[in-house]
Structure 1
């Protein structure tokens, strides 16, 4: 079964998530902060990450950015978990690279469904590269259009 990293500074939350994920058949590794999570990820063998937003020494949002910024972990499926469910917080997490946002409190059924979806829709390196290439192509086309001087229209009768 897949191995899931849980990064949360609250011991009780880590334990509850660990129990729930073990019951679903997942292997679990935990970290109490961003530095510990990055150390666990550096060891390899992690298939997905559940990250709390508020942690000491660096937020879960910043951890998302670090994960996405590393070639070794850029494709790792990430679910951010938080009790802070303001639209701005959710959008910030998604813009930082999270694949999903799970608001606290949540049911075990919701966690199960979202974990299965997260792992099933994990992008391949080829798919992410193709997306990046499409984005670069669109950006270059936009830049070309912006740089092209406007030609006045002359009506001839």
Structure 2
């Protein structure tokens, strides 16, 4: 089972993300601030991180940059999560080393699908090669298939 760190200062946001990810089969570790997130990362076993951009003290962007500066964590998949969709904020997050930026509000399917895509990227993280098929299956169970797949499924049902 893959473990995802959720770093967000809002308990309600952490709870919603936790619920969505646990229902999909992820193990979740949470932190209410950047120091807590760094402690969780130091404990090991984290396969990906969802980090809120706006946190008191050390911001999510600064946390992301600090993670990227650690050789042991430099390939950890990081998705920034924020209601702030200003281009400057997104650019700053990507420059700090974020792999993806998810704007609030979002659907559970979008969260799970994008996290699954992130975990399957070559070169992101170290534990993914052994679990990529489990991630793909989990994402597929909760994602809406592309239109071509839906049309093919309808055609197969009509023939059968």
Query: Same fold by TM-score, threshold 0.5 exceeded?
Result: yes
Decide which structure has the larger Cα Rg and report it.
Answer: 1
Answer yes or no: is 1:64 the counterpart of 2:61: no
Q: CA deviation at 1:124?
A: 5.5
Find the counterpart in structure 2 of residue 84 from structure 1: 84
Alpha-carbon distance change, 40 to 122 in structure 1, aligned in 2, over 3 angstroms = farther
Q: CA deviation at 1:2?
A: 0.6
What secondary structure, in the 3-state scheme, does the structure 2 residue paired with 1:4 have?
A: strand
What secondary structure, in the 3-state scheme, does the structure 1 residue paired with 2:88 have?
A: helix
Q: CA deviation at 1:56?
A: 1.3
Tell me if structure 2 keeps the 8 A contact 1:35–1:57.
Answer: no
Tell me if structure 1 keeps the 8 A contact 2:76–2:124.
Answer: no
Alpha-carbon distance change, 106 to 3 in structure 1, aligned in 2, over 3 angstroms = same
Answer yes or no: is 1:41 the counterpart of 2:41: yes
Runs of 4+ residues over 4 Å off in structure 1: none
Where does the alignment leave 5 or more consecutive residues of structure 2 unmatched? 126-160
- Take 2:9 and 2:124, find their aligned partners in 1: how far apart are those partners? 30
What secondary structure, in the 3-state scheme, does the structure 2 residue paired with 1:30 have?
A: strand
Find the counterpart in structure 2 of residue 32 from structure 1: 32
- Size of the aligned set, in residue pairs, is 126
Where does the alignment leave 5 or more consecutive residues of structure 1 unmatched? 126-157
What secondary structure, in the 3-state scheme, does the structure 1 residue paired with 2:102 have?
A: strand
Find the counterpart in structure 2 of residue 101 from structure 1: 101
Structure 2 matches for 1:118-129, cutoff 5 A? 118-123=118-123
Structure 2 matches for 1:129-144, cutoff 5 A? none
Alpha-carbon distance change, 105 to 124 in structure 1, aligned in 2, over 3 angstroms = closer
Q: CA deviation at 1:122?
A: 4.7
